[in-house]
Structure 1
Amino acid sequence: MDGPAEPQSPPPSGLDASERALWAQLSAAEGLAATAQAWAPMACARIRGAQAAAVMLDPGDGRPLRVAAAHPATRLPSGEALAAAESALAQARGVIRGAAGPDAADQPVAMAVPILVDGRALGAGVLEMSPQGPEGMRRAMRSLQWACAWLRDAARADAAAAERTRYEQVGHALHVVVAAAEREGFESAARAAATDLAARFACDRVAIGVRRGRATRVRAISHAAQFGRRMDLVRLIAAAMDEAIDQRAVTLHPEATAEAPLATRAAEALARAHGAGHVLTVPLYAVDRYVGAVTFERPADRPFSQAEAETLEASVTVLAPVLEEKRANDRWLIQRAGDVTLAHLGRLLGPGRLARKLTVLALLAVVAFFWVAKAPYRVSADAVVEGEVQRAVVAPFEGFLAEAPVRAGDRVAEGDLLAKLDDRDLALERLRLVTERQRRVREYEQALARRDRAEARIKSTQIDQAEAQIELIDARIARSELRAPFDGVVVSGDLSQSIGGAVARGESLLDVAPLDSWRVVMQVDERRIADIAPGQGGSLLVAALPEQPFEIEVVAVTPVARYAEGATTFEVEARVLGDASRLAPGMAGAGRIAVDERRLIAIWMRPLIDWARLTAWRWSPWTF
């Protein structure tokens, strides 16, 4: 058999009348199905020794191969032919299989060639022929491969046509969605979508309805800004929509599928009453339910093709969520809340959904338990350990740091050197003043020797002044040494990295706290400060000692708010009860203050209840 030719190409020479008819049928065939019907008899006629030919297609999903065409029509492919086709599909190359056994020489040989389109095997051309020699089998395989090119080209044409159809469907769907999405409100969007569908698909009328309860209400008709709800036409359209929605399927009058016939009485009544030759109704499905339907009407001379019906169904499928969202947005908030509540109640109280019912019962049991059960109510807050008495060591004057033998955490005794400022400038100044005093003394003695009393009094005054300045310098030199005021521990400050650095007068250099008394400072949230009172007990857990809680007692509540890190807190001071020898100043952790005993639901719902009360009071016109 010669290779594929362009459609309507002239037949090869040497064909008889019947082969010419087959050639004309094959050349004029469009699509894989029609090509296969003409291909099988042509293959039997043109390949020497052929007894039967068939085209087998792979339906996918692991199902067996389907015979698309066979010649002779009354002869089904043998087991060997089926096995050869499956092998050709699996190996993606031509396969020859022959019968085995003593009678193999009299049995036909099966050969198959896959139909490959873009590397994917869609089926196979199969030939059963009488056994021949090696050269005859090779010649037959080449002819079969050339013949299968017809099937390959037809499959490619089908794929291209399907792709064009998909592009057209997507394009139509996008145009309809854009027409609806550009409008404000459901009524305007539905009317725009209906008008666009009517114009795009040459329909006499397109109507869009919304399902409410068990009935559908027509909300938009193409090219009609207003229409009467009680019109006979509107009632018939609504009945056709109910008919499609109740059957959960697309209905088409007068045609109906042979496999699963659908009721189309309402569509027939609509067509008979208003002269519509063809009525197509597509349900609107969104949010896991049928929310309405779209009805298309055409005259008798323009029926809906299968491709048009699929395109309309695709367009409506994409349009449904857009219209449902606009319809939902048009309703009052209380209506939306009511619909959601009723929907959930319907799912809960309806049949099935055992898991959801058990979950709700479990939640109710948990809420009942927490409503009855009680537990200690505690207020938690961040806490820091501080010395009960804390002394700041500050710079007595401006200068430079000379020594810093201690740092935070070091224990010191009363009088120990904590830091020393550089006193070299002071020593030089003292030396200058001592020299000045000696000079004034000599001048004073000289004035006495001259019996110059006035000059002597002046020099005496200058000597006193110099001695006062020397005493001041000595005091500053003594103050340059900063010593511990009592036995304790350095709680803050590390000057070891600042030797030689400048310090300002009054600058805090170190903080010293005693070793025998501590206080706990907690930052309690403003929403809980009303529950705190002096004398309440609690516990403290610091990060450094997570295995050892410390008992505490509230001593004072500072009535001054502090805002930090986006929260307003009040400072609560507590003292540590019992042994606190392992504590150290600066330890941070959490404190819990025991208030009283309350219901668990009240404890957990406290933030929400407080917020609701404050919000209600803020926005309510009444005082309560």
Structure 2
Amino acid sequence: MAGLAPHSAGAQGLPTESSLALLGCLQTSLAAQDWRRSGAEVVSEISQRLHCLRVSLGWVSAGQLRIVALSDGVVLEEGAAIPELNQAMLEAVHQHATLFWPQPSKSASRITLAHQMLFKAQGLAGVMSVPLAHQGQVIGVLTCERSVPSDTLRPSAQQELIRGAFEPHEVQWLEVVAEGLAPLLRLQYQLSRPVSERIRDDVALFKHRLRDPSERRLRWMMVALALTLAYGLLWPMPNRVNASARLEGAVQRVLSASQDGFLREVHVRPGDVVKQGQLLAELSDDELQSAKRARLAEVAQQENTFAEAFARGDRGQAAMAQSKVAEAKAQLALVEQQLARVRVTAPFDGVVIAGDLHQQLGAPLKRGDPLLTLAPGLDWRVVLEVDESDVPELQRGQAASLRLAAMPGQPIALVIDRITPVARSTADGVRYEVEARPTGVGAGLAGLRPGLEGIAKIDLPERPVLWRWSVKAWQWLRMMVWTWL
């Protein structure tokens, strides 16, 4: 291939032939089979264009610099290195600058001790290192070594190389090549690495950063993270299960119609507090009053018949009349019982929780139709709706606390009485009903009404937070694996 034309004009101050040479290097990199082969072919291309003895590619991985390719086509295995060459590359990486020796001026401020050692150890005419940078970070370095010219070069080239140091246009060209190759080589490197190698390199880079004195902030962050993990794994924390809850009466009595008829009067509404024996509602008793009068007349008639037969001394007729009197009295007693049941009274002190009958006055009723529902005023139960994943941790006798939406400032102590074995599907998922009863001070709070809702928290044995989360994550993972398989 043709060498660089040092004095031909081109775009952006570069020689035209140099621009074509740059495109050739990029094309060579793209045509390679993998990342390492790409590096080897690129350094060979650069070596031919700059008439170098050797061009080497060093790559920074996990904070370590490794020589990965030489211009003679050799692809170095991981860990192989040439000490003087490796030190020269490190010198350019650490200073993030192009270094070469011999230097054109003694006033240069860059440190080039490693380049001088390589220069002397290999007996070179010149050495130059150009970093490969991507997004402000050095990812590699190209090092060119030029030997004393041989007789095979043309006389003009010999005179040029005898001067030793690389020419300014050569330095500029290599810097442009490095700038163009850096993102391409990095992309090829990322795509060629297996996952295990990426993980290993990331771990090694992290360890290198931890050892770096300038990474003090990272070390403090890791100490804080370790303390947080230790606290989450070892320190027991309060453990609770949240559940929606509603208040119900411990006993609910449904008062129904005792017979067919009509609703005459209603004296209470839902929410009213009633006393035992208080009149709640009345049914129509017109038919029963007529039946009572008929039974009274029948009893009087049979008693007269019995008296006449007894006066005549007709024992058979008297006995028959006496039995009919007893039958009539029994029917009368039945009617009186039915009359007594048309008045619906409270069986105990409590609260009316259902049955607004004021809109049904005069409506026909069938025997057994529900009229009112009563609950004791001072005896309550709380029904908790617990998620299915939390049910296995619950046991009878566990303590809980309830706050009602109507009384958020007053906690109510609970104790679990029963866990129902039947699930119920809701909009929030599968829920189990858990029954609890108020205890302590909260059991006698005034103002409680059946139907009030709130949030309950059930106390579980204290466990570390991360331990609880890991158990739930493991259960979820097992379920997912079982579902997929």
TM-score, normalising length: structure 1: 0.43
The 3 A distance-change label for structure 1 pair 588 and 247 is same
3-state secondary structure, aligned to 2:109 = coil
Q: Which residue of 2 aligns with 1:591?
A: 456
Partner of 1:505: none
Shift of 1:549: 0.7
Q: 1:84-123 residue pairs with structure 2 within 5 A?
A: none
Counterpart residue number, 1:210: 59
Aligned mate of 2:116, from 261, 265, 277:
265
Q: Does 1:219 align with 2:84?
A: no
Report the counterpart of residue 129 of structure 2 in structure 1: 281
Asked if structure 2 preserves the Cα contact closer than 8 Å seen for 1:282 and 1:316, the reply is no
Other structure's SS at 1:549 match: strand
CA displacement at 1:344 relative to structure 2: 3.7
After TM superposition, list the pairs within 5 Å mapping 1:395-544 onto structure 2: 411=272, 488=351, 514=375, 516=377, 517-544=379-406
**In 2, distance between residues paired with 1:385 and 1:412?**
16
Equivalences for residues 158-177 of structure 1 within 5 A: none
The 8 Å contact of residues 210 and 218 in structure 2, kept in 1 or not, is answered as: yes
| 1:375-427 alpha-carbon deviations (Å, 9 max, x no partner) | 5543332333345567999xxxxxxxxxxx9xx9765988669xxxxxxxxxx
Shift of 1:541: 1.4
Alignment of 1:241-252 (within 5 A): 241-252=89-100
- Verify: 1:548 aligned to 2:410, yes or no: yes
- Shift of the 212–369 alpha-carbon distance from structure 1 to 2, 3 Å rule, reads closer
Counterpart for residue 579 of structure 1: 444
Q: In 2, are the aligned partners of 1:215 and 1:242 still within 8 Å (CA)?
A: no
**Structure 2 unmatched ranges of 5 or more:** 1-10, 147-156, 256-265, 283-343, 360-369
Distance 1:249 1:573 in 2: 76
Which residue of structure 2 lines up, in the alignment, with residue 87 of structure 1? none
Give the 3 Å change call, closer, same or farther, for CA 543–202 of structure 1 in structure 2.
farther
User: 1:607: how far off?
Assistant: 1.7
Is 1:312 paired with 2:177? yes
Contact 2:249 2:450 in 1 (8 A): yes
> Retained in 2: the 8 A contact 1:197–1:206?
no
2:309 alignment partner in structure 1: none
Q: Distance in 1 between matches of 2:81 and 2:226?
A: 51
Secondary structure of the corresponding residue to residue 436 of structure 2: strand
Alpha-carbon distance in 2 for matches of 1:292, 1:352: 21
Which letter maps to 1:572?
V
The residue that corresponds to 2:246 in the other structure is 384
For residues 248 and 24 of structure 2, what CA distance do their matches in structure 1 show? 72
Where relative contact order (Cα < 8 A, 6+ residues apart) is larger, the structure is 2
RMSD: 5.8
1:218 deviation in Å?
3.3
Change (3 A) 1:617 1:549: closer
Partner residue in 1 for 2:467: 605
TM-score, normalised to structure 2's length? 0.52
Structure 2 residue 409 is matched with structure 1 residue 560 = no
Q: CA deviation at 1:594?
A: 2.1
Distance 1:242 1:174 in 2: 28
Q: Name the CA shift for 1:550/1:198 in 2 (closer, same or farther; >3 Å).
A: same
- Distance change (3 Å), C-alpha of 1:384 and 1:617: closer
Contact 2:399 2:459 in 1 (8 A): yes
Q: CA-to-partner distance for each residue in 1:224-247, whole Å, 9 max, x for gaps?
A: 5x64669x9988765653442354
Deviation per residue, 1:429-454 (Å, 9 max, x gap): xxxxxxxxxxxxxxxxxxxxxxxxxx
Quote the offset at 1:550 in angstroms.
0.8
Measure, in 2, the Cα distance between the counterparts of 1:582 and 1:595.
Answer: 29
Contact 1:245–1:293 (8 Å) recurs in 2: yes
Identity %: 22
Native 8 Å contact 1:491 1:585 kept in 2:
no
Partner of 1:49: none
Given that residues 381 and 438 in structure 2 are in contact (C-alpha distance below 8 angstroms), is that contact kept between their aligned partners in structure 1?
yes
- In the TM superposition, residue 513 of structure 1 has moved relative to its aligned partner by 6.5
